[in-house]
Chain A
Amino acid sequence: MTDRPAADSHDQPQRGVSRRALLGGAAAGAGVVAGAAAAGAAISNAAHRSADSPGDRIVAFRGDRQAGIVTAVQDRLHFAAFDVITDSRAELIDLLQRWTLAAERMTRGQETVEGGAIGHGKYLPPPDTGEALGLSPASLTLTIGFGPGLFGPSASAPARGDRFGLAAHRPAALAELPIFAKDAIESSRSYGDICVQACADDPQVAVHAIRNLARMGFGVVSVRWSQLGFGRTSSTTRGQHTPRNMFGFKDGTRNLTADQTDLLDKFVWVAGQDNPAEAQWLTGGSYLVARRIRMDIEAWDRAALLEQEQIVGRSKGEGAPLGKHAEFDDPDFQMTVSRTPVIAEDAHVRLAHPDNLDGVQLLRRGYNFTDGSDGFGHLDAGLFFLAYCRNAHTQFVPMQRALSTKDAMMEYLTHTGTALFACPPGLAAGEWWGQRLFES
């Protein structure tokens, strides 16, 4: 849950406060008739559920780090990438300030503004859309990132100038990712000036958050693309069991976890020495790589178990490296049987292993997705890969280059979306999203 011991207090989940209970209080304050009996019932209900319902948790919005990076991965995702469509620095800053207030409230299980869903009179569109009324905070985290397009020309808008006077503050590593072998990148699912990652244990809570931020942004930002995810495909704490991806295999066994603070400092958090003075706003933050990876589900499902396991390099049942017995056993890349490697040269686990990438690691936070079926009746499904790292170009790029050219699994994968964002550090009290960037 925490990035470092000192941060314990602010990233510790608080249990037992339900959205409904908070709303009862908020609604009464706004003068709306909220049956006292109903609010009371909700509170006792919440108290009753708190012991076994992680969904009631509130994850602290402010702290040294942004929530939603090493926070225990929630069940659901709604990720959105926005284009900034105004050239006005003041309008953009105003939106970021309003977003921050709304985001913090929503992570507490509250409406975007007090009384937002019904308390603002009958002639106004309610400032909160209301579909999260009565739902718990559901561990909602909202994590913001800034794309290259905010600082000048970018892959999606190569002709664009430095609209907001931020060019000098662009970290060198915030450069568009290269196109890898076999990429089939769709521009309409890629890039973006700002991203917001909403993770929650309830999909409706995550969708509500993105939807309301998007509507607050009309005229200033425009949703460029978004992605829903379910079924986390990695763990960020030892307490979480390793989930399975759409191929049915355990994924993320070797992921970095929140308690590995030394490794996080080495591989996830941007350090002061990484950037010149103009880009120190990112110190303590991280880079987010987002890739939409379509899986060729039907073909995979026709592959024999032996082939599937050889491609992954792990057993499907236990998730143990081939030749080993338990999930967390170290893979042995030297072992051979009849001079053939037990873990094939082109197995996914071998190519992605830090030992074969000069020890480089990153923090994965991906989700399974399915966007229904395509025109052939095939699942449009796969892995929405999200990974945080200190420098995507020295960590993710070499890894993906190796995978894209050598990984046997590539026969069943197509990368259709790509994006890179710089995610600033967490917010101090009273601070707004992007303040350190815009005031640096």
Chain B
Amino acid sequence: MVLSACTAKSSGTGDIAVTSTDSACELSSSSASTGTVTFAVANNGSKVTEFYVFGKHNRVLGEVENIGPGVTGKLVVEITEPGTYETACKPGMVGNGIRGTLEVTGEQKSKSDVPADVEQAKARYLDYVRGQLDGLVAQTTTFVAAVKSGDLAAARAQFGLTRTFYERVEPVAESFADLDPAIDMRWDDTEDGKQPFTGFHRIERFLWPPQQSQVGEDGDDISQADLDNAKTDTAALVNVEAEALLGNVTALRDEVRKSDFAFETQSFVKGPQALVDEIAATKVGGEEDRYSRTDLWDFAANIDGSETLIAELQPMITAKNAPLMDKITGQFQAVRDAIGKYRQGDGYVSYDTVTAAQRKELSDKIDALSATLSQVPDLVLGQ
């Protein structure tokens, strides 16, 4: 087994014990090696204390605050350059504190910042997300118009395609804690009807009214409360929901369009797997589109989004582990082929025609892809 990655990452330095009293600040060691330095700060005084590590120009490299009497706090600081650093305890949390010095030796280390190529890839990906959200707004406009005009056949035909734009960028959309549920909530999120049921799936239920025969307890079944609630749906009520949906997807697009919009690097590098796990966790059972059974549209869209992200990360993955990239490519193809078996016309067959055994086959391929994608963040962000 190759284990080269393990040993390199440890600084080899033990914790430095810091004892803070009302009048003293003692460090168990006044020297450390470059890399990660950990301080265990015990407050043996009677006042609440703080502990600081300062770099050049009194710049705070790290601080741990609000350590009560008798309590121990922990501070982890990344020190990349050898040199002399200052430490300070601040009993009572006031003043300059009780100062000391820390000699750091060892070679210079690069800070574990996000690599530049990752930042560039993020910028390109953001363009993609914005493009998809433009598409979402345009397509939702058409969809909502069909609903409101009473042309339900046209609305049904639009449903899967409209959702495609949303599902492709789902992890980004999900970072909006208010908009995402308003747009994409399921009946399961309503606490059995105590919360308002809004968004795509509310309209979906109106377009494909559930029947008593669909009531059951499996993930893709309809609950009795859901069915009862569906009977209260009227065209007028649903038109209001449709209008609200258009407002919410427009708001989502506008938020992401803002020049200062940014998403976490972590969520970016985990995005390919997150999209695939969307399918693995809550879609392959058929829960997502339980009225329309257009689930396969969503699967394909999640895979689209995941592949787009991987395309951005591909040079970084290939540089560090070309066989892994080949494996990812092959597994994407296998998932594509598996979904492709269910193509019908411009879309996909109804998911209720996909048998349990076929669903497991899909699930197996998705699990395999997800397991491989779980290796990506370390390759991209690891040193």
- List residues of chain A with CB under 8 Å of any chain B CB: 30-33, 85, 101, 113-115, 119-121, 123-125, 215, 218-220, 222
B5 on interface, CB distance cutoff 8 Å? yes
User: What chain A residues lie within 8 Å of B7 (beta carbons)?
Assistant: 30-31
Docked CA distance A120–B374 (Å): 13
Docked CA distance A32–B65 (Å): 27
Docked CA distance A32–B9 (Å): 9
Contact A123 B377 (CB under 8 A): yes
Q: Is the interface of B mostly helix, strand, loop or mixed?
A: helix
Docked CA distance A218–B331 (Å): 11
Contact B367 A113 (CB under 8 A): no
Docked CA distance A277–B370 (Å): 42
21 contacts between A and B (CB under 8 A): A31-B12, A32-B6, A32-B10, A33-B10, A33-B15, A85-B365, A101-B1, A113-B3, A114-B1, A114-B3, A120-B5, A120-B378, A121-B382, A123-B380, A124-B378, A124-B382, A218-B368, A218-B370, A219-B368, A219-B372, A220-B368
Docked CA distance A120–B383 (Å): 12
Instruction: Identify the interface centre among B364, B370, B377: most chain A CB within 10 Å of its CB.
Output: B364
Known: A114-B1, A218-B368, A219-B371. A123 touches B378 (CB 8 A): yes
Known: A114-B1, A123-B378, A124-B377. A222 touches B6 (CB 8 A): no
Q: Across the interface, name the chain A residue whose C-beta is closest to B379.
A: A123
Docked CA distance A219–B372 (Å): 9
B360 on interface, CB distance cutoff 8 Å? yes
Q: Across the interface, name the chain A residue whose C-beta is closest to B8.
A: A31
User: What chain A residues lie within 8 Å of B61 (beta carbons)?
Assistant: none
Contact A30 B6 (CB under 8 A): yes
Closest 9 CB pairs of A and B: A219-B368, A31-B10, A123-B378, A218-B371, A124-B378, A123-B377, A222-B364, A30-B6, A31-B7
Segment 99-151 of B: residues with Cβ below 8 Å from A:
none
Contact A113 B1 (CB under 8 A): yes
Contact A121 B1 (CB under 8 A): no
Known: A31-B10, A33-B10, A222-B364. A121 touches B371 (CB 8 A): no
B14 on interface, CB distance cutoff 8 Å? yes
Contact B5 A219 (CB under 8 A): no
Contact A215 B371 (CB under 8 A): yes
User: What chain B residues lie within 8 Å of A218 (beta carbons)?
Assistant: 364, 367-368, 370-371
Contact A124 B9 (CB under 8 A): no
Known: A30-B7, A115-B6. A125 touches B12 (CB 8 A): no
User: What chain A residues lie within 8 Å of B361 (beta carbons)?
Assistant: 85
Contact B377 A31 (CB under 8 A): no
User: What chain A residues lie within 8 Å of B370 (beta carbons)?
Assistant: 218
- Nearest CB on A from B335, distance (A): 11
Docked CA distance A222–B9 (Å): 34
Docked CA distance A218–B334 (Å): 13
Contact with A along B1-44 (1 / 0, CB 8 A): 10101110110101100000000000000000000000000000
- Nearest CB on B from A60, distance (A): 21
Docked CA distance A393–B318 (Å): 52
- Nearest CB on B from A97, distance (A): 11
User: What chain A residues lie within 8 Å of B382 (beta carbons)?
Assistant: 121, 123-124
User: What chain A residues lie within 8 Å of B371 (beta carbons)?
Assistant: 215, 218-219
Known: A31-B12, A113-B1. A120 touches B6 (CB 8 A): yes
User: What chain A residues lie within 8 Å of B1 (beta carbons)?
Assistant: 101, 113-114
User: What chain B residues lie within 8 Å of A33 (beta carbons)?
Assistant: 10, 14-15
Contact B5 A121 (CB under 8 A): yes
B64 on interface, CB distance cutoff 8 Å? no
Docked CA distance A215–B369 (Å): 12
New A-B contacts (11) at CB < 8 Å, excluding given A219-B365, A219-B371:
A31-B7, A33-B14, A113-B3, A121-B5, A121-B9, A121-B378, A121-B382, A123-B380, A124-B374, A215-B371, A222-B367
- Nearest CB on A from B36, distance (A): 10
Docked CA distance A297–B328 (Å): 49
Docked CA distance A125–B370 (Å): 11
B374 contact from A30, A101, A125, Cβ within 8 A: A125
B381 on interface, CB distance cutoff 8 Å? yes
Known: A101-B1, A113-B3. A222 touches B360 (CB 8 A): yes
User: What chain B residues lie within 8 Å of A31 (beta carbons)?
Assistant: 6-7, 9-10, 12
- Nearest CB on A from B93, distance (A): 30
Instruction: Identify the interface centre among A33, A115, A119, A219: most chain B CB within 10 Å of its CB.
Output: A219
Instruction: Identify the interface centre among B15, B331, B367: most chain A CB within 10 Å of its CB.
Output: B367
Segment 312-362 of B: residues with Cβ below 8 Å from A:
331, 360-361
User: What chain A residues lie within 8 Å of B375 (beta carbons)?
Assistant: 124
User: What chain B residues lie within 8 Å of A123 (beta carbons)?
Assistant: 269, 377-378, 380-382
Q: Across the interface, name the chain A residue whose C-beta is closest to B38.
A: A33
User: What chain B residues lie within 8 Å of A220 (beta carbons)?
Assistant: 368
- Nearest CB on B from A114, distance (A): 5
- Nearest CB on B from A94, distance (A): 11
User: What chain B residues lie within 8 Å of A124 (beta carbons)?
Assistant: 374-375, 377-378, 382
User: What chain B residues lie within 8 Å of A113 (beta carbons)?
Assistant: 1, 3
Docked CA distance A350–B66 (Å): 76
Docked CA distance A120–B8 (Å): 10
Contact with A along B226-262 (1 / 0, CB 8 A): 0000000000000000000000000000000000000
User: What chain B residues lie within 8 Å of A115 (beta carbons)?
Assistant: 3, 6
Contact B367 A219 (CB under 8 A): yes
User: What chain A residues lie within 8 Å of B381 (beta carbons)?
Assistant: 123
- Nearest CB on A from B17, distance (A): 13
Docked CA distance A32–B7 (Å): 8
- Nearest CB on B from A39, distance (A): 14
User: What chain A residues lie within 8 Å of B360 (beta carbons)?
Assistant: 222
User: What chain A residues lie within 8 Å of B3 (beta carbons)?
Assistant: 30, 113-115
User: What chain A residues lie within 8 Å of B331 (beta carbons)?
Assistant: 219
Docked CA distance A222–B363 (Å): 10
Contact A85 B364 (CB under 8 A): yes
User: What chain B residues lie within 8 Å of A120 (beta carbons)?
Assistant: 5-6, 378
Q: Across the interface, name the chain A residue whose C-beta is closest to B15.
A: A33
- Nearest CB on B from A27, distance (A): 10
User: What chain A residues lie within 8 Å of B269 (beta carbons)?
Assistant: 123
